[in-house]
Amino acid sequence: QVQLVQSGAEVKKPGASVKVSCKASAYIFDTYGISWLRQAPGQGLEWMGWITDYNGNINYAQKFQGRVTMTTDTSTSTAYMELRNLRSDDTAVYYCARDLEKYYGSASGVAFHIWGQGTMVRVSS
């Protein structure tokens, strides 16, 4: 069945970078976009950005512009999210989520349908 499997938990020091992977299976990877979202402990959901191989578009939330990079590797059906210059308030569970529908060219109008299991990233000195 369609699924997204994320990399394991990470512990990082302030100022470091983290790169989370999201491996897709059982569908044609470059026909659907993938969003990255996060959830701080006890808090709500926060959208970080979206990437698609369909037309190469990437949308980043303003809050993360300049600090996040989203990439894909179509050969391995894997999406990556790198967050740099980590701070303690970046401690959160990070999720990848696939679009509900194919061939969207921008993040507006997508629905976050298939979710990864989440990756806990803890930032602590």
- For 48, residues 6+ apart whose C-beta sits below 8 A from its C-beta are 35, 36, 37, 38, 60, 61, 64, 68, 81, 94
Listed ranges 7-15, 20-28, 39-47, 75-83: which one lies at the site for another protein (CB under 8 A): 39-47
CA distance 11 to 108: 32
Listed ranges 19-27, 70-78, 79-87, 115-123: which one lies at the site for another protein (CB under 8 A): 115-123
Q: Kindly state whether residue 111 participates in binding another protein, applying the rule CB under 8 A.
A: yes
Q: Kindly state whether residue 117 participates in binding another protein, applying the rule CB under 8 A.
A: yes
| Residues near another protein (CB under 8 A) | 35, 44-47, 59, 61-62, 95, 97, 100, 107-109, 111-113, 115-118
